[in-house]
Structure 1
């Protein structure tokens, strides 16, 4: 049997950080991105393979870090009426400690290091403007090493997508 015809074969990559997916993996991934609870049996029928192959492929994608199946809650329906994006400048020596502090906040949903006009980007959810004000005027200034803060409050969400096409 030619190994390229083996449905359980996962393509190899020369870059250890990149996991190569074949057409079957992409099909399975696409279906799970549309419905993370779709039964493997249904996926198998739709892509023309066995349920065991789907289960093995999903397991490999999960163990390699390509795929995480999670529930995504709507913050607005949970009572978080303010979504804000915060850009911070930090002293270089304090960067890691600031990241540690920000990622510990329950209001923080996303934190990343950046280059450009900001060193740190963070997304936060707050119950209301008073809650946001407490974060911006009390908690952030209490973190040593934060040099400046710029905040953007989201008025309306136009698109949210966690689907990454293979193009």
Structure 2
């Protein structure tokens, strides 16, 4: 069941998306509630699956993975990576797999140390279906926080 998020929930989500390392005391100061109330609300958001984890955003190039590519996949049946994502468990270069609608079944985000490594990954992905790749030149919008829906 989808929780009803109020303005305080959205303020907490906004602050945590900006800096997930904020203490309950700092969050409480920002939303004008007590720290125990904030802790309870954050736990409720976690239990409801609204907050799914706390992560650092890492720049692949700065971390030694300068070659980033988006790979479109068409795969079917037992070798389909959207049905069996565990088939890619031994490929840490695969950062994300998204199931899509339309003429492709998935989009795979890959980060590698070189073009030769990208080629190795593409050959491996091709064993699961048809691939079409595009190297990422830059990412003008690398991430945005989720904000409350706007209602007319």
Q: Same fold (TM over 0.5)?
A: yes
- Deviation at 1:30? 0.8
Q: 1:37 is paired with a residue of what secondary structure?
A: coil
**Counterpart pick for 1:154 among 136, 139, 142:** 136
Cα pair 1:109 1:123 within 8 Å, conserved: yes
Which position in structure 2 is the counterpart of 1:23? 7
SS at match of 2:126: coil
Contiguous gaps of at least 5 residues in structure 1? 1-15
Q: Provide TM-score, normalisation by structure 1.
A: 0.80
User: Could you say what the CA RMSD is over the residues aligned between the two structures, in angstroms?
Assistant: 1.6
Mapped partners of 1:109, 1:71: distance in 2: 14
- Where in structure 1 do 4 or more consecutive aligned residues deviate above 3 Å? none
Residue 120 in structure 1 maps to residue 106 in structure 2: yes
Give the distance between the partners of 1:47 and 1:140, measured in 2 at CA: 46
1:84 aligns with 2:76: no
TM-score by length of 2: 0.87
Q: Residue in 1 aligned with 2:30?
A: 46
Q: How many residues align?
A: 146
Q: Does the 8 Å contact 1:103/1:111 carry over to 2?
A: no
Helix, strand or coil: the match of 2:119?
helix
Greater relative contact order (Cα < 8 A, sep 6+): 2
For 1:72, which of 51, 57, 80 is the aligned residue? 57
